[in-house]
């Protein structure tokens, strides 16, 4: 057992180092093994000025990993009879999705969950260091985000294609509030965070700061440009498409509980795991991926698949993954991701995917092959 743990730890440390070798400032990763052991590894630095080490239990913005929490709440509401996945957007948000060919009567909650609603994303983003410093404390309401999308025609007819949609999850957050009378993040807190004891997971609202400890994160807005410290910002994603802050330990606990059947009845978990192929634009970054309802399935080199979600926002990339039985999980947070080209992003994604695969496919016991 001690030898196995040493091998797992060494591989995790090696894979984290391979990511920082690509120019990423810092990495923290945590694995929970099938027998409940927790292994951690860090690489790089938490701060380019002080060069202090990356904390093993640091807070970070989980960005789109938030979507799995939102999807879980929606499926809990479906289990309780509060809504149906076949309800239209118009049923809960009359008149909100309309104009320029957009029609909330033709889009279902299921399609929002699975990125097949066709709504065009027109998402606020920082395009330069100057824009970041001018607008990093700006906050957007869900209504403002949806209104931006409604300026455009749909990308396709609902249900006919797949295209990743942040605006779709903003609408899901609005539907949660309409159904329950509470903001989406309060329902996440009451239905997931508190029952699971996720003491380091929360919605920061419009606060631009992260609690200690945390790594700082950096972004280059143009190739060759000096990195900008983008740690302190409100960010555009606070409305259900993103917004939560967490830690590697809390995310491992959440995904293990979800896939272990502790958060959803069997019927709703089964619906969450009904997948379709991702779009061609995502395939290079997530080879073999299939999209469920707030969860992605990815193939494992040792056979079968894992479930999880990734998130990225202003220098951060995070990913959480768990085996199908909910027993073995890994969460990794990258800070200071400098990506001057698509090839740069692909290299980082591949290195992170290798860390995840190695974490979830432990080496075979001597004398026995992998299952």
Look at residue 371 in the predicted model and tell me its pLDDT. 40
pLDDT tens for the 371 residues of the chain, in order: 566 666 889 999 999 999 999 999 999 999 999 889 999 999 999 999 999 999 999 999 999 999 999 999 999 999 999 999 999 999 999 999 999 999 999 999 999 999 999 999 998 888 899 999 999 999 999 999 999 999 999 999 999 999 999 999 999 999 999 999 999 999 999 999 999 999 999 999 999 999 999 999 999 988 878 899 999 999 667 899 999 999 999 999 999 999 999 999 999 999 999 999 999 999 999 999 999 999 999 999 999 999 999 999 888 999 999 999 999 999 999 999 987 788 999 999 999 999 999 999 976 655 544 44
Cβ-based neighbours of 80, under 8 Å, separated by 6 or more = none
| DSSP one-letter code for 5 | H
pTM above 0.85, yes or no: yes
Look at residue 200 in the predicted model and tell me its pLDDT. 98
Q: Cα 141 to chain center, whole Å?
A: 20
Work out the angle between the directed axes of helices 166-180 and 66-79 (0-180°, nearest 10).
40
Report CA dihedral (15, 16, 22, 23) to the nearest 10 degrees.
Answer: -170
> Does residue 351 sit within a domain?
yes
Look at residue 370 in the predicted model and tell me its pLDDT. 47
| DSSP one-letter code for 293 | S
Residue 124 contacts residue 313 (beta carbons within 8 Å): no
Cα angle: 77, vertex 93, 310; to 5 degrees: 60
> Does residue 369 sit within a domain?
no
Look at residue 127 in the predicted model and tell me its pLDDT. 86
Tally the domains of the chain.
1
91 vs 93: CA distance, rounded Å? 6
Q: Which helix (H) or strand (E) holds 330?
A: strand 329-335
Look at residue 327 in the predicted model and tell me its pLDDT. 93
Instruction: Quote the domain boundaries for residue 256.
Output: 2-360
> Does residue 368 sit within a domain?
no
CATH number at residue 120: 3.40.710.10
> Does residue 366 sit within a domain?
no
Number of Cβ within a 10 Å radius of residue 305: 18
> Does residue 95 sit within a domain?
yes
> Does residue 371 sit within a domain?
no
> Does residue 242 sit within a domain?
yes
> Does residue 288 sit within a domain?
yes
Look at residue 339 in the predicted model and tell me its pLDDT. 77
């Amino acid at each position: 057992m001690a030898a196995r743990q040493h091998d797992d730890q060494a591989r995790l440390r090696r894979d984290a180092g391979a990511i920082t070798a690509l120019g990423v400032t810092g990495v923290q990763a945590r694995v929970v093994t099938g027998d409940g052991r927790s292994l951690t590894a860090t690489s790089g630095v938490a701060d380019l000025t002080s060069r202090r080490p990356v904390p093993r239990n640091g807070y970070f913005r989980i960005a789109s990993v938030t979507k799995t929490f939102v999807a879980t709440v929606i499926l809990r509401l479906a289990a309780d009879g509060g809504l149906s996945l076949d309800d239209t957007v118009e049923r809960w948000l009359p008149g909100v999705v309309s104009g320029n060919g957009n029609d909330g009567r033709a889009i279902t909650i299921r399609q929002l969950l699975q990125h097949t609603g066709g709504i065009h994303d027109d998402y606020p983003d920082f395009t330069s260091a100057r824009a970041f410093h001018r607008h990093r404390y700006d906050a957007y309401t869900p209504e403002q985000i949806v209104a931006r999308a409604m300026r455009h025609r749909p990308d396709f007819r609902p249900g006919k294609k797949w295209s990743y949609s942040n605006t779709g999850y903003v609408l899901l957050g609005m539907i949660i509030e309409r159904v329950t009378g509470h903001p989406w993040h309060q329902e996440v807190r009451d239905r997931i965070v508190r029952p699971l004891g996720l003491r380091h997971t929360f919605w920061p609202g419009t606060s631009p700061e992260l609690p200690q400890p945390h790594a700082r994160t950096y972004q280059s807005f143009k190739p060759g440009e000096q990195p900008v410290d983008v740690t302190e910002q409100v960010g555009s994603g606070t409305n259900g498409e993103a917004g939560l802050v967490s830690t590697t330990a809390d995310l491992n606990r959440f995904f293990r509980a979800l896939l272990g059947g502790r958060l959803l009845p069997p019927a709703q978990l089964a619906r969450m795991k009904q997948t379709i192929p991702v779009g061609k634009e995502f395939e290079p970054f997530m080879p073999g991926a299939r999209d469920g309802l707030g969860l992605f399935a990815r193939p494992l080199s040792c056979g079968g698949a894992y479930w999880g979600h990734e998130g990225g926002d202003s220098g951060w990339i995070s990913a959480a993954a768990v085996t199908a039985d909910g027993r073995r999980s890994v969460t990794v947070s990258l800070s200071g991701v400098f990506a001057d080209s698509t090839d740069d992003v692909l290299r980082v994604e591949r290195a992170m995917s290798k860390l995840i695969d190695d974490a979830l496919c432990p080496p075979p016991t001597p004398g026995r092959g992998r299952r």
